[in-house]
Amino acid sequence: MNTLNEYLSLEEFSKIIFNNAELDLSEQVWKRTEESFEFLREFSKNKIIYGVNTGFGPMAQYRIEEEDCIQLQYNLIRSHASGIGNPLTPIQVKAAILARLNSLSLGYSGVNATVLQLMKELINRDITPLIFAHGGVGASGDLVQLAHLALVLIGEGEVFYKGERRATQEVFQIEGLKPIEIKIREALSLMNGTSVMTGIGVVNWVQSRKLLDWSVKISCAINEIVSAYDDHYSQELNHSKLHQGQRNIAARMRTYLKGSKLIKKREEHLYTGENQEKIFKDKVQEYYSIRCIPQILGPISDTIDQVAKILEQEINSANDNPIVDVKTQQVYHGGNFHGDYIALEMDKLKLVITKLTMLSERQLNYLLNSKINELLPPFVNLGKLGFNFGMQGAQFTATSTTAENQALSTSMYIHSIPNNNDNQDIVSMGTNAAVLCSKVIENAFEVMAIELITLAQAIDALEYQELISDNTRNWYKDIRAIIPVFVGDQVLYPYINQVKNYLIESEMQEV
């Protein structure tokens, strides 16, 4: 069981959303929540406070009479539940709820305890509100997407429950749950935050780490297949540069490739003084997609680490408006809901995952082009050349998917469009950035699945099963349990999808 208290790490966050670890709230959380709520209730009685007794956005100049204040909150939720497009995935929504819950639990939002209690129950019971991908500009928070969460919390809207899309009211009756109580500004506290973009961002971060892990494994396997020299990932070469990511990737390669019978040492082949050829048959240096792995994956690794730092800070921040500060007995108006931090990190993550996809596509092309590798049959075709096609058709898919990632990598962070009667005159587009980043990540898994199948075919073509490292042999056996060695032509799309799922569902294995 994971208990929310002072600080939620990304590792704890991931266990709750991916491993279904049960969530609980500490006594300290309940105490903070009660103190914040009671302070706001007393403090707001004779003062003008945005979202408590005023309209919203550009209509904040309008005073709301006391008898209408509660209805105002319901009006906000219903009017902004206007999303459209594809529903977010259950894991993305679960992450968004947890991110919002953790932010509200800090005691800066003035909500009553029923809000936290019901959000906790949604997480623990796998009840997933229907939230759409389109709707947020990421400035006054994820207003539209979080309105769909708030809609469920007041007992309206729809949820996904046990694999079915159902009315919230029906599911609450089945589970014995009651809607939250709106008492002061619960709707605004729920909606004015960065929790959807941040929750999706955490999912993106987890999947990006898997992609990087697999890219290292695949790159090592290609080094084995071509019997590359080992000095390009040596400690000496890579420590002559000061970048930590590069050093880490090179170290992983050295560990991964221990025991391989295919990797060559340069001093045993080219430093003996016995080479007298005018034209060397074997390559003196490999193509960049094989030789420059630490330099290419290093900045990707560093970027993923930086994204993690910002995400962890954001999920542990108060990101609504205004902020209720019990310590100073004051309410502060500002813009903590603005999603620029997450927008920028999602753009950066999207960019490096596209580069990783490009590396995978170039490595795939190397394996398929016999004129380049001078080692394998064209398209790693194990059948009859001209009659069979090997991986030829799959390359088109990998190339087109890589091209889509390149197109999707245009920045959202710099594409602000004023809206809300120009009240929101500069926005983050952080929600769009996070959603597009998730698409780029999914595409990357598809390209990598095609490359992994091709690698397995290459190992069989060269009969290297007993020469590859133990680490390569481990995943090779997994792939062969999914897809058999094929000599004749196969319908590949079911296999590609199965291998894609294998990659997504795999556990991180640090080597």
Q: Given the structure tokens 């990421």, which residue do they identify?
A: 138
Judged on CB neighbours under 10 Å (0-12, 13-18, 19+), 18 is middle
Contact between residue 366 and residue 372 where contact means Cβ atoms under 8 Å apart? yes
Tokens of 158: 């729809």
Q: What is the residue type of 298?
A: G
User: Residue 144 has what pLDDT?
Assistant: 93
3-state secondary structure at position 160:
strand
3-state secondary structure at position 468:
coil
Q: Of 77, 65, 73, give the one whose Cα is nearest residue 151.
A: 77
Q: Of 101, 155, 103, give the one whose Cα is nearest residue 129.
A: 155
Pairing of strands 128-129, 84-87: unpaired
Q: Of 317, 338, 332, 342, give the one whose Cα is nearest residue 102.
A: 317
Q: What is the residue type of 113?
A: A
Indicate if 502 belongs to the active site: no
Contact between residue 276 and residue 243 where contact means Cβ atoms under 8 Å apart? no
3-state secondary structure at position 74:
helix
- The count of C-alpha atoms lying within 13 angstroms of the C-alpha of 277, restricted to the half-sphere facing its C-beta, is 9
| DSSP result, 285-310 | S--HHHH-HHHHHHHHHHHHHHHHHH
Contact between residue 402 and residue 329 where contact means Cβ atoms under 8 Å apart? no
- Helix (H) / strand (E) element for 24: namely strand 23-25
The conformational region for residue 287 under phi > 0 = left, psi -120 to 50 = alpha, else beta, is beta
Pairing of strands 23-25, 158-161: unpaired
Pick the catalytic residue from 7, 50, 256, 366.
50
Please report, for residues 67, 396, 403, 412, 418, the alpha-carbon distance to residue 372 in angstroms, rounded to integers and kept in the order given.
77, 18, 22, 38, 51
Q: Of 377, 400, 389, give the one whose Cα is nearest residue 460.
A: 377
Q: Of 14, 460, 475, 393, give the one whose Cα is nearest residue 215.
A: 475
Q: Given the structure tokens 């995400």, which residue do they identify?
A: 311
- The Cβ of residue 67 has, within 10 Å, a number of other Cβ atoms equal to 7
| DSSP result, 458-490 | HHHHHT-TTTS-HHHHHHHHHHHHHS---SS--
Distance separating alpha carbons of residues 190 and 412, to the nearest angstrom:
24
As a whole number of Å, the end-to-end CA separation of the chain is 29
Contact between residue 437 and residue 350 where contact means Cβ atoms under 8 Å apart? yes
User: Residue 428 has what pLDDT?
Assistant: 78
396: Cβ contacts below 8 Å, ≥ 6 apart:
none
User: Residue 511 has what pLDDT?
Assistant: 39
70: Cβ contacts below 8 Å, ≥ 6 apart:
182, 183
Contact between residue 57 and residue 423 where contact means Cβ atoms under 8 Å apart? yes
Please report, for residues 213, 244, 254, 295, 350, the alpha-carbon distance to residue 248 in angstroms, rounded to integers and kept in the order given.
12, 6, 10, 10, 21
Tokens of 28: 């300290």
User: Residue 61 has what pLDDT?
Assistant: 78
Contact between residue 486 and residue 389 where contact means Cβ atoms under 8 Å apart? no
Tokens of 476: 């090779």
Distance separating alpha carbons of residues 351 and 345, to the nearest angstrom:
10
Omega before residue 58 within 30° of 0, cis: no
Please say whether the dihedral angle defined by the alpha carbons of residues 209, 212, 217 and 218, taken in this order, is positive or negative: positive
User: Residue 508 has what pLDDT?
Assistant: 63
The whole model's pTM is what? Answer: 0.94
Per-residue pLDDT of the chain (511 residues; tens, 9 = 90+): 788 888 999 999 999 999 999 999 999 999 999 999 999 999 988 888 888 888 777 787 778 788 888 998 999 899 999 999 999 999 999 999 999 999 999 999 999 999 999 999 999 999 999 999 998 888 878 989 999 999 999 999 999 999 999 999 999 999 999 999 999 999 999 999 999 999 999 999 999 999 999 999 999 999 999 998 899 999 999 999 999 999 999 999 999 999 899 988 887 776 767 776 767 777 777 888 999 999 999 999 999 999 999 999 999 999 998 999 999 999 999 888 888 999 999 999 999 999 999 999 999 999 999 999 889 999 999 999 989 999 999 999 999 999 999 999 999 888 877 777 656 667 878 899 999 999 999 999 999 999 999 999 999 999 999 999 999 999 999 999 999 999 999 999 999 999 999 999 987 654 3
Number of residues that this document lists for the chain: 511
Tokens of 374: 């001078």
Q: Of 149, 293, 274, 125, give the one whose Cα is nearest residue 220.
A: 293
